[in-house]
Structure 1
Amino acid sequence: MTTTSIEFRARADGAESALRALFPETPLQLNEHLSQRTGARIFLKREDLTPVRSYKIRGAFNFMRKRVEGGETDAHFTCASAGNHAQGFAFACRHYGVKGRVFMPVTTPQQKIDKTRVFGNGAIDIELVGDFFDDCYAAARQYAAASGAEMVPPFDHEDIVEGQASVGTELLRQLGGERPDMLVLPVGGGGLASGLVRYFEGEGAPAFRFVEPQGAPSLRTSLEEGRLVKLPQLDGFVDGAAVAEIGKLPFETLSRFAPSDVSLSPEGSICGTMLEMLNVEGIVVEPAGALAIDSLSRMGPEIAGKTLVLVVSGGNFDFERLPDVKERALRFAGKKKYFILRLAQRPGALKDFLQLLGPEDDVARFEYLKKTARDFGSILLGIETKEAANFDTLLRRFDAEGIRYQDITDNQVIADLLI
């Protein structure tokens, strides 16, 4: 371990010690369900159990701590965020009794706005600006320049990275000094991942596996290109990790890794993992919080017998999203499909069609798209079944009966218009 890494680790240890004024260490739990499924010892570091239900409070608190303890008693802070960073920022402002202003997109769910306000408890103001994060980020920067408030970045700052690395202090203590064989870390802006890499680097360091949403592979793309790359577009479903460009400072650390060290989780697979953890373990995770756990489904026998620590990065899940999560999970698993089909406009045609369905097939959607057709009608049909293989049987029956159909399940343009 180099002098620089020793100093970094000491600073992270100091951040962890200071955090005890806010909350006790988050649990490290051996998960029997995941361990039995993989043949490995799977520990979950439950960052979803901080007061704000994510690890983001660590970085925001450490950033403010250094300024307040450094004598900036009249400090004034601002940030731009629609989620976990805003809540950690608000909690830290309340703790230190400093003024804060949070800029959020107008499209932010009311639940997140309300939670941020509650955590701030009068210490913060909230401004809703623009439809996208870039809009409110620009507004926050303008406000900082005009008012003298200091921007608290979500990940791209040494004090933020140092605060997130305090997770490592707790891990080592909770494992009794034992080093895990592998750390599995979700990646958005890269603050948590780079912090833990720096904390554990040196002799005996564990292997690292990083996990990004398939629709927002900013780290993987940058590693493939050998430079920092800003994604031209991304899927924002995994809102806690959907970042167009990984932080410059985190990438300086993570650039040493190969693209193969980064696993990409399909959004539908993440949804299935969220439902599994809720139904089997009673653990509520947000999409970003499920990333590390979801990656286990793409790990092979090489992890059998090894000790893995997975960071569950957050549990701020709005249950109004649950129907969408179920829908995505079923479609990804091949248990739900949508079709546009042509059905004869004659008495008994619908009854004849229903006879083609198997005992485990259920009609989830049935809608005439053209009700005035005289001979054939176009129908939007949604079918849900218990096993994906049932669709092979059903489609053979369609073909045998001469039913014309088009599977639109994976046609995003048509699906967005009709489903």
Structure 2
Amino acid sequence: MKRKAVMAHGGDCVSIELIGDSFSEAQTAALEYARQNGATFIPPYDSIDVMAGQGTLADEIFTSGEGPFDRVYVAVGGGGMASAVAALLKSSWPKVKVIGVEGVDQASMKAAIELGKPVPLDYVDVFCDGTAVTQVGKLTYEFCRDLLDEIVTVTNGEVSSAIKSHWDGLRAIPEPSGAMSLAGFLKHHEAGKIEPDEKILTILCGANMDFAKFADVSRQAGINPQRDRSWRFNIPEEKGSLVGLLTGLPPGVSIMDLQYGRTMNEPQRPLLSINVPDLACAEFEKWIARNEESAEDVTGHGATRFRVIPFTPALFTSPLFVEVEFPERAGALLGFMNAISWITSVCYFNYAYTGERVGRALIGLDFENDEELSIHRDKIFGQAGKTVRAVKEVLAGEIF
């Protein structure tokens, strides 16, 4: 979508060459091209002139006559738009609070302010690709440090819920980065940080939504971290035990997901994801307390997030489970598999295409013994930043 827009505006005067799998890689290549060819590099955010252009958005807000506002929420990527918005609005409305919003795994400005200088992040999530910046600029850091009143971080699920809110209220579908400001406001509102008489502005900027991403956004928007929980329950392997568990749930509790596969283990351990409305919370807590010996909260665990396929752990010798994140393009994961194929065997593999720019797979690797696992651990995790974007361990206790 972005490439088509660039070509539409530039026509025959523009050529596009895609290099790298991240903004940082592309910027490095662009700087090198400019050096070799005597061309001018136009920074995407760390430039007074670029920031001034982004600041025209704030000028439109001021001249609209809708202000003044008490709070303004603005997404932060490299920090250009946030800097310009804060500078212009605070010069017009000195008492306004400007709150920057970053993704939990994209918080490069928050890290810079905490450490006193721009620093590169080791890992940057790209769900909100328009704000996926490894390191903020020197100029934008100084502006945001001095002008932002606060930075709030939001999860991908909270951003997805904000996209849904935009659709429900405005029939608008922003890209994830465009919905971050509303996600930040909603987080503060739910935490009781917004006064009843405060006038709020959230900046919606960005409509480059890929159609393939809708399914993942829709799924995450349906997750309420305050009400949706996942549990494993111990039940005997006998007729009616699973039905008895389900029918014993308190009234009002909805089953969102159920994962169960018969294994050689005893007792059996089905996994239920359930939604507990506010009116049913008290009764559900009592029910869980009565069943605490057979229930385990596994919300957010690997088995819940990846819908782990039933298997028999007794067949594994020394397993290591890892979550591998890689660019969603042909051959991207193959490099990782080739790099480790000589030291381990694959005993589990779970992957589903979600429409994101990155793919994620849960992979079980089995070693001949614990000593072999210890020897080769660094080789496995050392693939992060080389053949794949990230390799994170998933504890075996979260899976079986």
User: In the alignment, is residue 367 of structure 1 matched against residue 256 of structure 2?
Assistant: no
What is the SS of the residue equivalent to 1:340? strand
Q: Distance in 2 between matches of 1:243 and 1:324?
A: 22
- Aligned partner letter, 2:85: L
Measure how far apart 1:239 and its partner are: 2.2
What is the SS of the residue equivalent to 2:270? strand
Query: Which structure has more RCO (C-alpha within 8 Å, separation ≥ 6)?
Result: 1
**Equivalent residue runs for 1:2-401 within 5 Å:** 117=7, 121-175=11-65, 179-202=68-91, 204-207=93-96, 208-257=98-147, 261-297=150-186, 298-299=188-189, 303-369=195-261, 371-373=262-264, 375-383=266-274, 385=275, 387=277, 390=280, 393-394=283-284, 396-397=286-287, 400=290
What is the SS of the residue equivalent to 2:209? coil
What is the SS of the residue equivalent to 1:222? helix
- Aligned partner letter, 2:271: L
Unaligned runs of 5+ in 2: 309-400
Distance 1:303 1:374, change over 3 A: closer
Q: Distance in 2 between matches of 1:391 and 1:317?
A: 36
What is the SS of the residue equivalent to 1:126? coil
Deviations 1:251-273 (A, max 9, x none): 12222247x52233343322222
* Mapped contact 1:194–1:254 kept (Cα < 8 A): yes
Measure how far apart 1:189 and its partner are: 0.8
Measure how far apart 1:191 and its partner are: 0.6
Unaligned runs of 5+ in 1: 1-110
- Aligned partner letter, 1:292: S
Measure how far apart 1:346 and its partner are: 1.2
Measure how far apart 1:112 and its partner are: 5.3
Deviations 1:88-123 (A, max 9, x none): xxxxxxxxxxxxxxxxxxxxxxx5555655565554
Q: Which moved more, 1:344-353 or 1:134-143?
A: 134-143
Deviations 1:116-171 (A, max 9, x none): 55565554333333333333333333333334443332211222111101113322
Distance 1:252 1:361, change over 3 A: same
Distance 1:280 1:200, change over 3 A: closer
Measure how far apart 1:190 and its partner are: 0.8
Q: Distance in 1 between matches of 2:230 and 2:212?
A: 23
* Mapped contact 1:285–1:316 kept (Cα < 8 A): yes
* TM-score calculated relative to the size of structure 1: 0.62
* TM-score calculated relative to the size of structure 2: 0.64
* Mapped contact 1:341–1:403 kept (Cα < 8 A): no
- Aligned partner letter, 2:264: A
Q: Distance in 2 between matches of 1:179 and 1:351?
A: 58
Q: Distance in 1 between matches of 2:279 and 2:158?
A: 18
Q: Distance in 2 between matches of 1:138 and 1:404?
A: 54
Deviations 1:359-411 (A, max 9, x none): 54443333335x3426432333333x361564664464455357723222233
User: Once superposed, what is the RMSD of the aligned Cα atoms?
Assistant: 3.3
Distance 1:350 1:312, change over 3 A: same
Measure how far apart 1:205 and its partner are: 3.0
* Mapped contact 1:288–1:314 kept (Cα < 8 A): yes
Counting aligned pairs with the same residue, the percent is 23
- Aligned partner letter, 1:322: F
Distance 1:360 1:188, change over 3 A: same
- Aligned partner letter, 2:243: K
Residue-pair matches, total: 304
Measure how far apart 1:312 and its partner are: 1.0
Distance 1:389 1:240, change over 3 A: farther
